[in-house]
Structure 1
């Protein structure tokens, strides 16, 4: 059986390594363009078999018994924990998902959306004409602030400056390029030590809050994540299970959502006519802005913009798994225990699936357009698939169009970052920010209503 395609010589390995050093998407594109839809790169237990395309996505994501998270995300265990969703599989994973569900669905999702939108409104209200702002950084901070309250409760959120400082130590390491990150997690070094010290400080406060609530039988806010995990509904959770759920929700929450909203703003501003059309539609929303899922569904064009932005800039670029049993794919053998990776980013940029894949075309999501074709479940994967779908997908699907609509209604922005560079793992972030210059606020009745509410 032929060996997996991939680099063989030192020069070839160097070229692949340099591509990954520049960014994760560039490394993946280099493998695809040089070696095709199947390739392998790396050494020893980190040697990864890359399988690109919808067929590969279906194979890996549907067969959860053979393709496991456990063993693929072990470098995150010191941060996320041994019981986190990203480090576990099977019934234990499903049980914890069911327990956390009220915080992320229906009433919990609506409360989260309201909190985040209020924080976004407050952020927009601070912007002044002529000011130059990093719209990604500003929105990320607004979302982080709201998520701290929704996941941890008001008592811990009152310590936001301290918690943020510690969490950013973790993100500092997680934003390293892939080659550096793989090394940094394994070897003693300053970045790893800062990340571990940061997470130790955060978990210390979370454990103290868990113990306090158990001792005082104080459930906290009706739907904050700690209270949901400690509730009597469903199976009892250990302190570590609660800690791991809260920490991983924070780490995996505000970065992908903040980045997704930032990229939606960038794509809307860099494509002629989109921002103006978003504003026009926003003027038809309820006076306080769309908040509920039903209200957001009426923002048809805004949803098309968000869907297209999630295609061009998916929240997750790469999804690795560890295979339990060996298997053959594309005429090649992946051994038992091998590391396998599929890529949402490569799938979303595939010309076999998407006409003009590198163009930002919101109209491709217009179901009334002649020739419209709905993508298959393994062709469009902004939130994953099936039982491993992102637990926050319900929140994001309402929040992103609602927040983008508010931004278009209340702001005039002139894009200053023309060619953003990619960074971040696993979230796709703009490495050096997304800078805009704030113009005069648009003169519309609805914009005034939102501005007054934000005050």
Structure 2
């Protein structure tokens, strides 16, 4: 059997030219996906560039990516998030560092381990069935909006333990506003606006967060009397204790719940949208997925035990995440201990890696622009370099909800696909790099028979 490549060739950073004062900011702001792809194609695997006056380094080779991800909490500092991101996520695990990060991760992780995800799977399938029952052949719909609404419902029920339409609508509406305003500031010139500046977007964000907080904190108070009797995430966080016997505060539970909601709603909804788009252009793949779903489920209600048997559906999801990874960019800050590939990185530099770029590298993925789920065989996995595929990050700060997202994506896609297809209108669908990797235009489609 072929073996994975061993990287021995040393790489030295090459500097990309920019413009005075702004460096590479204009090109980065205009189209970051094309910019990072050009850095790799024109300059190689390790490229120095500048974001205004900020010194940056871009990595695209898997072993270098692994050093960046593996060095989190040790040789690299966790990325400093923009002010709007901090406003929304608070002091949750994603924004914490050092001992505080380790404490929160230890408290949150048990609530989303595989055994716990099993208990959420029925809710995932039930929501997907409810969505499918509401479809009509010939109906026109916005596929992305429909998928986001579906994953919102799953997130609200599994994380907050409520299926009340009014509560669900409040959380969904305020989250939509908050995520839109955060996404608007994550890239380009908007990211350079000082944190104290009272922009219109930040005023909208603060108003949405105030309403969201009131609802989430009310749900936490409601759960306190029955936390040991319920299986939703808030209840599990309420009963979690660290090594000293300390529990999470209400505010800490709020921050973790909001973070996991975003991870379980926005990213999965977007992944499902891209999956329907790709399936629409590849009817042979869709036919094989439908056949598997019908064989595995039959006429009964899906559950978690079906997930391991959805092997082709899992390949479809994995290939979708390769081509359209929701988290399209990761970065950290170099310390005085930071090295990559034996090269010392100046302290204070921002070090970036992009799943979008590495996932589309022909060295690791032959014919990289082609949607081919069949590539994901055990033999292919065995020779693929570590961190050539990293839609959930990696290292100590890898996404703790990866299992939740993979199970949800596969179960929802297969559950709906055995009855209907959401056939996206023909034509190119460019990607837009925002808070997540999103379609750059509305994703319109038609409900057809499976």
Q: Please report the TM-score for the alignment, with normalisation by the length of structure 2.
A: 0.87
- Greater CA deviation, 372-381 or 329-338? 329-338
CA gap 1:70/1:241 in 2 versus in 1, 3 angstroms: farther
- Report what 2:203 is aligned to: 193
Q: Does 1:41 align with 2:50?
A: yes
**Unaligned segments of structure 2, at least 5 residues:** 1-11
Q: Does 1:60 align with 2:50?
A: no
1:4·1:332 contact (CA, 8 Å) conserved in 2? Answer: no
2:276·2:424 contact (CA, 8 Å) conserved in 1? Answer: no
C-alpha offsets along residues 178-230 of structure 1, whole Å, 9 cap, x if unaligned? 2144145733211121112211221122233334555xx34276222221121
Q: Does 1:259 align with 2:267?
A: no
Q: Does 1:285 align with 2:296?
A: yes
- Report what 1:117 is aligned to: 125
C-alpha offsets along residues 308-336 of structure 1, whole Å, 9 cap, x if unaligned? 11111112111111222254547865321
C-alpha offsets along residues 60-119 of structure 1, whole Å, 9 cap, x if unaligned? 11122122225356652111112x122123332232222223331234312322222222
CA gap 1:366/1:193 in 2 versus in 1, 3 angstroms: same
**In structure 2, distance between residues paired with 1:67 and 1:400:** 32
CA gap 1:159/1:437 in 2 versus in 1, 3 angstroms: same
**In structure 2, distance between residues paired with 1:229 and 1:411:** 37
- Report what 1:402 is aligned to: 411
Runs of 4+ in 1 over 6 A off after TM superposition: none
**In structure 2, distance between residues paired with 1:8 and 1:377:** 32
C-alpha offsets along residues 380-400 of structure 1, whole Å, 9 cap, x if unaligned? 112222322212111122222
- Greater CA deviation, 108-117 or 138-147? 108-117
**In structure 1, distance between residues paired with 2:315 and 2:377:** 7
Q: Does 1:209 align with 2:198?
A: no
**In structure 2, distance between residues paired with 1:48 and 1:239:** 38
Pick the aligned partner of 1:151 from 133, 145, 159.
159
SS for the counterpart of 1:322 is strand
Q: Post-superposition shift, 1:4?
A: 5.6
Q: Post-superposition shift, 1:356?
A: 1.1
Q: Please report the TM-score for the alignment, with normalisation by the length of structure 1.
A: 0.86
SS for the counterpart of 2:269 is helix
CA gap 1:156/1:204 in 2 versus in 1, 3 angstroms: farther
SS for the counterpart of 2:347 is coil
1:31·1:39 contact (CA, 8 Å) conserved in 2? Answer: no
Pick the aligned partner of 2:233 from 213, 219, 225.
225
- Report what 1:78 is aligned to: 87
**In structure 1, distance between residues paired with 2:164 and 2:15:** 50
Q: Post-superposition shift, 1:166?
A: 1.3
C-alpha offsets along residues 146-182 of structure 1, whole Å, 9 cap, x if unaligned? 2112212228774222222211111212333721441
- Report what 1:296 is aligned to: 307
**Unaligned segments of structure 1, at least 5 residues:** 443-455
RMSD: 2.8
- 1:267-278 mapped onto 2 (5 Å cutoff): 267-278=278-289
CA gap 1:380/1:372 in 2 versus in 1, 3 angstroms: closer
SS for the counterpart of 1:320 is strand
**In structure 1, distance between residues paired with 2:61 and 2:317:** 22
1:72·1:321 contact (CA, 8 Å) conserved in 2? Answer: no
Pick the aligned partner of 2:176 from 143, 168, 178.
168
Q: Post-superposition shift, 1:408?
A: 2.2
**In structure 1, distance between residues paired with 2:214 and 2:413:** 36
**In structure 2, distance between residues paired with 1:145 and 1:121:** 12
CA gap 1:260/1:185 in 2 versus in 1, 3 angstroms: farther
1:74·1:87 contact (CA, 8 Å) conserved in 2? Answer: no
Q: Does 1:5 align with 2:5?
A: no
SS for the counterpart of 1:40 is strand
- Report what 2:389 is aligned to: 380
2:158·2:233 contact (CA, 8 Å) conserved in 1? Answer: yes
SS for the counterpart of 1:283 is helix
1:150·1:224 contact (CA, 8 Å) conserved in 2? Answer: yes
CA gap 1:329/1:232 in 2 versus in 1, 3 angstroms: closer
- Report what 1:411 is aligned to: 420
SS for the counterpart of 1:380 is coil
CA gap 1:149/1:184 in 2 versus in 1, 3 angstroms: farther
Q: Post-superposition shift, 1:257?
A: 0.8
CA gap 1:221/1:416 in 2 versus in 1, 3 angstroms: farther
